[in-house]
Structure formats: structure tokens, C-alpha cells
Chains A and B, each alone.
Chain A
């Protein structure tokens, strides 16, 4: 079985951990400590991790625990998301076929801990990290909860240098920012960090419930005066024939493989979508040694920034506008992708099909905010297409319709990481101001976010979207009375 490990990379050096041995469908396999089970298996060439009720193979898709494509049986427990399950010695991993059998083993007693804090931050991407550090820096006791076994959210796989103000990490590569902030968080005595832990809901007793998703079973009941929800976004699927075939992957999923774990997601690829994510991921595929055949764009124009598109074109990758994916073909993984030209109404034009021999189809067709927790808590949400879907209505301070509950980052509407830092900072500073701990920073952040950062013409759409769900304190009070 051929390996997919990247040995040479122009930017990244992969420091791999100790070799660990585990079993996959009865075969002994190896991975490196610090990887997910899925990453280790992918590096060895495995592509199918479960089968649907009707027997269709399922592979890797999101790679961050948000979809249900990689549910497998781990140590007798079915429906384990192996993309966020850390690989370790002696694990027994088995593919599932259709509905699983019930668990055959149980693991230990659940220990419970009650935690009181000034603020709880859910999610450790750019928004959550920034918010936690700002609050903790002013003496507040913070609990930071992250579902993944690593801190950093999607920063860990961003290899490009960020744009913008150096105050918000302009000029620094994304994964470096993530490492830097995670180190600071770990070093702060005011922040309690819970990784591999999912906040599963808010309850009438006044607690957020949280539980570990892997390892030792622990249950946390968290009570806090303030909550910042920064759960990010997940990738959208596109509609075409066989879109569930292994090898069809979210662009972010491929980034996780190649930039976080140093694993080549395929040999030959087509990218669907020419927004910034599509353009950047195409470039990163080239860096990882993948042959990128084409980028397909449904619309008349390239969606992303000129600077990214120009780089792609210099490498000879065609960006084909007014074309979309018609279908993919293959037995248990992608072997071929077929695109088609579309007319003004985005309908396929027969006879214009083009086939590509590829083993990878990356979807960069947008993100949708992960609003489930805020929805469960009862926050008023609104559908805003410019922001990717349902997003919470909020004040200029990022407070939702639930008093004391704030939102920041992609969950508030999909934008760039810089906006997430700014919103995290703004939410934190608004809380500090309420607590009488402000040092004048809030107004500056608010001003920079709206009057400087979002004034860029390329952010016009996002700015318009966010304006449509941002209320004054008075308007929010009215909404709360109506919703109550």
C-alpha cells in the first residue's frame, strides 16, 4: 500500500510523533502520535471508513468532527468520528456498514466536575482564542472548551501569511498565529482549557453541559456570568451525481490532511469554487505535490481576490468560469470527474462535458455557520445568504438576544480569520466594559472593525450582511420583549 506522507514541503516542516500501532479491520497499521485515526489511515492509502444503509462507501469529508462521513467503530464503540479521535497504541478500529450494532464495550465510570467561571468561551479558533486571552488578561476567570484534541480551530491549517494590520497578525502565517495564541492560552493561569470536550447544551438549571468526546469519560457542569459562543462554521456539500464518493472532500478537509498532518490528499485534483478558499487550497495542493487539473467556477467571474487567482494562473492551473461539476465516477473512490458548461440560468449545456482523470475533488463552495448550540440556547437567528445561512441577531457589542451570551467569528456570519479575531476581541472588551474593567479598548476595536477593516471593497458583501443582523441596544431590548 503506497504512502501519502509529504516529505518535502516549501513552507512546512512536519515534526511527527512517536510511532503507534493499532488495528484497522483486523490489520495492524502504524500512525504517528498527535495524528487523528483518520489521518493515519489516509496516509496509508485507506479511503473508505464506513458504508451507508444502502451500501454506498463513505470517506473523509470535513476532517474536523462536523460531518458524519467517517463514523467508525473504535474499541467496540460505534459512531466514533475518527477524524477527531487521536490515534494511540492498541486501538481497534473497524468500518461500519449501515446502521451499527450497539456498543459491545463500555469504558469506565463518568466523573463529574462543576465549574464556576466569569466567562466560558466555546470554540478555540481565532475568535475564541482572542476572546479568552483578552478576558483572562484583565483578570477574568475563563473556561475555554474545544471539541478537537488541539486548540486553534482552522488556524492550524492556514499556511498563508495573513493580510492587514500587524496588530491583528498581518504578515504572519495562520498556523503560527494559532500556535502563538494556544501557547499564551496554555500559559495563562486564568484560563482553564478543556479539549476533546463538547458543549452539548444549556439547561434551565443554569448550567452549560459539556462532556469529553474521547478518552476518559468526564462530564462538566459549567456556570458562568458570560458565555461567548465561537463554534465556527462547516463546509457545504455541492449537488452532483455521486457526491458522496470517497475522494470528494471539503477544501478544509484537504487542508487538514496536507497542512496539519503532512499527508497528500490525492495525486490529481479538481477544485470546485473559485472563492478565496478554493484559490488558496489549489495553491496549497500544488505545494503538497498534487497535480491540480482545473478550478471550476459556476459564475461568470472568479470569486476570490485577484492576488490569489494570479498566483494560481502563474502555475498553469486553468480557472474555468461558467462550468460546474456534473458527476464523479469510480468504484469505491473517485476515478474521474466530469464538468459541464452552464448557461445564464446555471443550467448544464449538453455536449459540453469535459472529463478529468482525478482521484480528488475538493469542494470550496462556501461555509455554513455552526449555530446548533446557540439555537438550542434559544438565541434569535436569521437567515442571511451573504453570511452563509442562519446567524444570530446581535448588538454592536456582539451580544445575542440572550443577555450575557455573545457570539464571535464565523458563527456570527462567515468572513475571514481577521474578522474573527476582531469580533472575539470586541465581544471580550464589551464584557470587560460591563464589568467596569475596560481600558478604553472597546471603541477602538469597534471603529477598526467597521470603519477600517470592513470598508475594503472585497468585504462589501459581508459588511452588508452583518449590518442586517446588528441591532442597537434599544432594538435588541424590543426584540427580547417580543421573543419572550
Chain B
């Protein structure tokens, strides 16, 4: 028996897509995950949400997501708050670059602005700004609970008859008649259509269909500290060291920091990361020296050459859709991506036309999108 749709990957992207589909009356969906819902990037990410990017595509897509997050928050009870983003700039040349970026963002409706170290101290109490030249503040950026996003959406789906199977690993997808067969550890599953939203496993799975996408997995590192009463609201990025800190809803501080890594290698926990995270953030927040790290984990950014995701139907393979290569921004985009994929699957064009620029075929056509800033 063939289902109408199999979604490979029960991360926030796959689940949001299923949500927008069932809400529009599309039924007979099976979602599978090799581990458990949220177990990939969704539960590992920093949970930041922003539209302050440096490409038209990212900004347009994210403005839609920034519109959708509060609606989903209300509908599904997902904790979400427009607490802002703050980029700390410590070099004059960075200020020049961001001056241009802010102008570009403002022209597309994102109200970012340059702020002084004094304003930084107001936005982030207890911060030591001795090295800060200026900063950029994005007041419509924010954060959402990744746990609520997955579990509340899952509850919504299960109540509406969507089937979700855990511990089911898709190993191969092949065409069979007018539909597809997904080979898994629990046998063959059949469907009219397939959506691959499998994070760092997406490229290998699509290869079994003969679709070659230039996605490479870059190991990433993150930690959380003990939980405290609210100290500061925005997600704060130290631009020069490519690292960031955010106080999560439950009070823990989440820190990410880039260290040299090699694409497509197994992510391992490294002292180098802990050292960098501690060095950067204890100098901004000296009290962090007395705070314990509770957990440190790794994950992957599924990176594309232009750092933009691959979203939409696979050209020449009717019935196969992809949502992958998010390059570190999958969580924040998921509501807009889910909405757009639902449109595609229902045979419509996406509401935000910029989605069509993110199609899988752009690499073969050489229509890459360029963005200078990738972080968070």
C-alpha cells in the first residue's frame, strides 16, 4: 500500500511541512526518523531567529518566518520571543562592512541599526565592552524553544492522523511505477511522493536516486551552562571570533564557537572548543568564570557552496522534494520552509517567490547565491 507522502527526517523542517499540509487537508503522511524527532540539528541548534542576512533570498524567506513564528507560538504553544540579536564589532573594518549590511537590510524592511558600546551595555547588562567599537542590533530577531517546536508540532500531527515512526533509517530511494519505494531497516515503504529533509544524511540519500547535491557536513560545537535568572535578552555574536552566546528560556547559557574543522569528518568533542568558548565569553562576561558547563555536544552544519538551502521539487524527478543544506539556519527558517514545501507538494507556487531561487537545479545552472555572513 502506497502512502501519499513519506517525509524522511522528523526534524523541525519535516514536521513543519507535515503541519502545513495536514492543516490544508492533505492526509496520509508518514514521517520517519533514523533516531527520534528532533535528534539531528533541531535539538542541537542555538534556537535563534533573525531576518538580518546579507542576501535578498535569505531576508525575504526569513521575513516570512519572522511573521510565522509568533502565529505558530500562539497556535502550538511554542515559546518564542523577539529578544533581538546583537553583533559585537571590535574592528573598524567590520563597522564599515556592517554599515553597508544595515543599509541593505533596512532597504528590504529589516530594522537593524548600529549601536554604541553604551547601548550595548543597556541591551546586555553585565557585559564588559572594553574591546567593543560598535555593535549592530536587530530588534525583530529573537529565539524560539527548539523542544517546543518539535514536540508541540509532533503532538499536533499525531492528533491529526499523521504517522511518525522513530528508529527507521532510510537507506535507499528508488522509483517504482509512478511512485517511489524507500528502503529502510524495517523494510520497503512506498509513497507517491517523498520529501528528503534528513539534515546531514540528505546528500547520501539523494545520491541513491541519482541526484547529486553539493552539500558537505561541517562539524560544529555547542555547550550549555548552568541555568540562572534572566541576565540579558539578545543572542550576542562576537563577529571577530565567530562565536555567540544566548540565554535560553530555561535560563541556561548556550555558547557556540567556530574552531578549525574539516568537511565530512566525524564530529568529536575537543578541548579547543571549550577553551575558545571560555576565552571569548569570560572576557565579555567575567562572572562566567564561576559557571559550570553542563553539557557539550557536536552536530553538523549541512553546508552548500553558496551557504543557502536547497528547497523544492527535484527537477526531472517528479514527486521528489528536498529541504536540505541549510548551512546553519534550518531551525529559524522552518515555518517558512514548511509553508513553501506544502505549497509545492499541493502543486502551487510558494508564497514567497524568492524560494524559487533556492531550487536544487541552481547548482547545475550556475545560479549560486552569495552571502557574506554565516553564523549562529
A contact set with B: CB distance below 8 Å: 76-79, 98-107, 110, 200-205, 207, 209, 221, 376
The interface bits of chain B over 231-259 (1 if a CB of A lies within 8 angstroms of the residue's CB, else 0) are 10000000000000000000100000000
Determine if A105 and B296 form an interchain contact, defined as CB atoms under 8 angstroms apart: no
Contacts A202-B269, A209-B271 supplied; 20 other A-B pairs, CB < 8 Å: A77-B290, A79-B226, A100-B228, A101-B228, A101-B229, A102-B228, A102-B231, A103-B287, A103-B289, A103-B290, A104-B287, A106-B287, A107-B290, A200-B293, A201-B296, A203-B270, A204-B271, A205-B271, A209-B274, A221-B271
A109 CB to nearest chain B CB (Å): 9
| A102 neighbours in B (Cβ, 8 Å) | 126, 228-229, 231, 287, 291
| B289 neighbours in A (Cβ, 8 Å) | 103, 106, 110
Determine if A207 and B292 form an interchain contact, defined as CB atoms under 8 angstroms apart: no
Residue of A nearest to B125 (CB): A102
| A76 neighbours in B (Cβ, 8 Å) | 290
6 cross-chain pairs, A with B, having the tightest CB-CB distances, nearest first: A204-B268, A103-B290, A203-B271, A103-B287, A77-B290, A204-B270
Q: Measured between alpha carbons, how far is A229 from B311 in the docked complex, in Å?
A: 47
A78 is contacted by which of B228, B268, B296 (Cβ under 8 Å)?
B228
Q: Measured between alpha carbons, how far is A205 from B226 in the docked complex, in Å?
A: 25
| B287 neighbours in A (Cβ, 8 Å) | 102-104, 106
Q: Among residues 294 to 318 in chain B, which have CB atoms less than 8 Å away from a CB atom of chain A?
A: 296
A99 is contacted by which of B251, B272, B290, B291 (Cβ under 8 Å)?
B251
Is B210 an interface position by the 8 A CB rule?
Answer: no
Is B286 an interface position by the 8 A CB rule?
Answer: yes
| A376 neighbours in B (Cβ, 8 Å) | 269
The contact sample of 25 A-B pairs, CB cut-off 8 A, is: A77-B290, A79-B292, A99-B227, A99-B228, A99-B229, A100-B228, A101-B228, A102-B126, A103-B287, A103-B289, A103-B290, A103-B291, A105-B290, A106-B286, A106-B287, A107-B290, A200-B293, A201-B269, A202-B269, A203-B271, A204-B269, A205-B270, A205-B271, A205-B272, A207-B271
| A103 neighbours in B (Cβ, 8 Å) | 287, 289-291
Q: How large is the interface on B (under 10, 10 to 19, 20 to 34, 35 or more residues)?
A: 20 to 34
Residue of B nearest to A79 (CB): B226
Q: Measured between alpha carbons, how far is A354 from B126 in the docked complex, in Å?
A: 55
B contact set with A: CB distance below 8 Å: 126, 226-229, 231, 251, 268-272, 274, 286-287, 289-293, 296
A58 CB to nearest chain B CB (Å): 15
B297 CB to nearest chain A CB (Å): 10
Q: Measured between alpha carbons, how far is A110 from B275 in the docked complex, in Å?
A: 12
A284 CB to nearest chain B CB (Å): 34
| B291 neighbours in A (Cβ, 8 Å) | 102-103
B330 CB to nearest chain A CB (Å): 26
Residue of A nearest to B229 (CB): A99
| B251 neighbours in A (Cβ, 8 Å) | 99
Q: Measured between alpha carbons, how far is A202 from B268 in the docked complex, in Å?
A: 10
Residue of B nearest to A206 (CB): B271
Q: Measured between alpha carbons, how far is A107 from B272 in the docked complex, in Å?
A: 23
B156 CB to nearest chain A CB (Å): 27
Q: Measured between alpha carbons, how far is A100 from B296 in the docked complex, in Å?
A: 22
| A101 neighbours in B (Cβ, 8 Å) | 228-229
| A100 neighbours in B (Cβ, 8 Å) | 228-229
| A209 neighbours in B (Cβ, 8 Å) | 271, 274
| A106 neighbours in B (Cβ, 8 Å) | 286-287, 289-290
Q: Measured between alpha carbons, how far is A98 from B293 in the docked complex, in Å?
A: 19
B56 CB to nearest chain A CB (Å): 39
Q: Measured between alpha carbons, how far is A215 from B263 in the docked complex, in Å?
A: 42
| B126 neighbours in A (Cβ, 8 Å) | 102
B294 CB to nearest chain A CB (Å): 10
Q: Measured between alpha carbons, how far is A422 from B270 in the docked complex, in Å?
A: 34
| A202 neighbours in B (Cβ, 8 Å) | 269
B57 CB to nearest chain A CB (Å): 36
Q: Measured between alpha carbons, how far is A92 from B84 in the docked complex, in Å?
A: 37
Q: Measured between alpha carbons, how far is A81 from B30 in the docked complex, in Å?
A: 47
Determine if A203 and B269 form an interchain contact, defined as CB atoms under 8 angstroms apart: yes
B267 CB to nearest chain A CB (Å): 9
A210 CB to nearest chain B CB (Å): 12
| B296 neighbours in A (Cβ, 8 Å) | 201
| B293 neighbours in A (Cβ, 8 Å) | 200
Q: Measured between alpha carbons, how far is A221 from B289 in the docked complex, in Å?
A: 18
B227 CB to nearest chain A CB (Å): 6
Q: Measured between alpha carbons, how far is A300 from B274 in the docked complex, in Å?
A: 52
Q: Measured between alpha carbons, how far is A54 from B118 in the docked complex, in Å?
A: 36
Q: Measured between alpha carbons, how far is A205 from B259 in the docked complex, in Å?
A: 13
Q: Measured between alpha carbons, how far is A102 from B287 in the docked complex, in Å?
A: 7
Q: Measured between alpha carbons, how far is A221 from B270 in the docked complex, in Å?
A: 12
Residue of A nearest to B227 (CB): A99
Q: Measured between alpha carbons, how far is A104 from B228 in the docked complex, in Å?
A: 12
| B274 neighbours in A (Cβ, 8 Å) | 203, 209
| B290 neighbours in A (Cβ, 8 Å) | 76-77, 103, 105-107
| A104 neighbours in B (Cβ, 8 Å) | 287
A414 CB to nearest chain B CB (Å): 25
| B268 neighbours in A (Cβ, 8 Å) | 203-204
| A77 neighbours in B (Cβ, 8 Å) | 290
Residue of A nearest to B269 (CB): A203
Q: Measured between alpha carbons, how far is A99 from B226 in the docked complex, in Å?
A: 10
| B270 neighbours in A (Cβ, 8 Å) | 203-205
Q: Measured between alpha carbons, how far is A204 from B272 in the docked complex, in Å?
A: 9
B295 CB to nearest chain A CB (Å): 10
| B269 neighbours in A (Cβ, 8 Å) | 201-204, 376
Q: Measured between alpha carbons, how far is A372 from B7 in the docked complex, in Å?
A: 34
Residue of B nearest to A107 (CB): B290
B116 CB to nearest chain A CB (Å): 24
Q: Measured between alpha carbons, how far is A203 from B227 in the docked complex, in Å?
A: 24
Residue of B nearest to A68 (CB): B226
Q: Measured between alpha carbons, how far is A78 from B291 in the docked complex, in Å?
A: 8
Q: Which among B231, B271, B296 has the greatest number of chain A C-beta atoms within 10 A?
A: B271
A174 CB to nearest chain B CB (Å): 32
| B229 neighbours in A (Cβ, 8 Å) | 98-102
| B228 neighbours in A (Cβ, 8 Å) | 78, 99-102
A206 CB to nearest chain B CB (Å): 9
A271 CB to nearest chain B CB (Å): 33
Q: Measured between alpha carbons, how far is A78 from B288 in the docked complex, in Å?
A: 11
A384 CB to nearest chain B CB (Å): 21
B305 CB to nearest chain A CB (Å): 27
Residue of B nearest to A109 (CB): B289
B203 CB to nearest chain A CB (Å): 22
A7 CB to nearest chain B CB (Å): 39
Q: Measured between alpha carbons, how far is A101 from B231 in the docked complex, in Å?
A: 8
Residue of B nearest to A77 (CB): B290
